[in-house]
Structure 1
Amino acid sequence: MPTLLRIGAFRFYFYSHEPNGPPHVHVDRGAATMKVWLGSLEVASSRGFRAHEISGIVAMVEEHRGAFVGAWHGYFG
């Protein structure tokens, strides 16, 4: 599971065994985790993050979306 970026306590990554789905990134901080679709920036799933934190995390994903999409296509082809 390649780690793409760390910002403070947040880790942004994707699983190497998920090549068939649309491009997305997982974000963890401690036991909290979420999955964000890179195309639409919609939250696919979230567990442990508070509602007010989610928009800030999505903003971080949006800021780095180009690099995340490039890494996705570079890894999965």
Structure 2
Amino acid sequence: MSPTVFRKAGYRFFFISREEERMHVHVVSADGEAKFWLKPNIELARNYRYPVPQLRYIKALIEEQYDELTGAWRGYFRR
């Protein structure tokens, strides 16, 4: 199961159930896919096909929605 937290600018931000315990988010679009750690800092974990400028933009979107992402993570994985 992969619950979507939000969509913005052609990107889907989601979690993969039971993947691992460290807080993170997956991002996918027509251009590629990436995984970012949310804790202890927002940091790129994996990248598939996104160029560096696009990764910076995605990270900025994560920073803007950080509270929503971490709240959704806690709500989903602590149920």
TM-score over 0.5 (shorter chain) = yes
The one-letter amino acid paired with 2:46 is S
Contact 2:31 2:50 in 1 (8 A): no
Q: Which residue of 1 aligns with 2:23?
A: 23
C-alpha RMSD of the superposition: 1.1
Q: Which residue of 1 aligns with 2:56?
A: 55
Q: Secondary structure at 2:46's aligned position in 1?
A: strand
Q: Which residue of 1 aligns with 2:35?
A: 35
Q: Secondary structure at 2:53's aligned position in 1?
A: helix
The one-letter amino acid paired with 1:30 is A
Q: Which residue of 1 aligns with 2:47?
A: 46
| Alignment TM-score, normalising by the size of structure 2 | 0.89
The Cα shift of 1:28 comes to 0.4
Q: How many residues align?
A: 76
The Cα shift of 1:53 comes to 0.8
| Alignment TM-score, normalising by the size of structure 1 | 0.91
Identity of aligned residues (%): 36
Structure 1 segments of 4 or more deviating over 3 A? none
Gaps of 5+ in 1: none
The one-letter amino acid paired with 1:70 is G
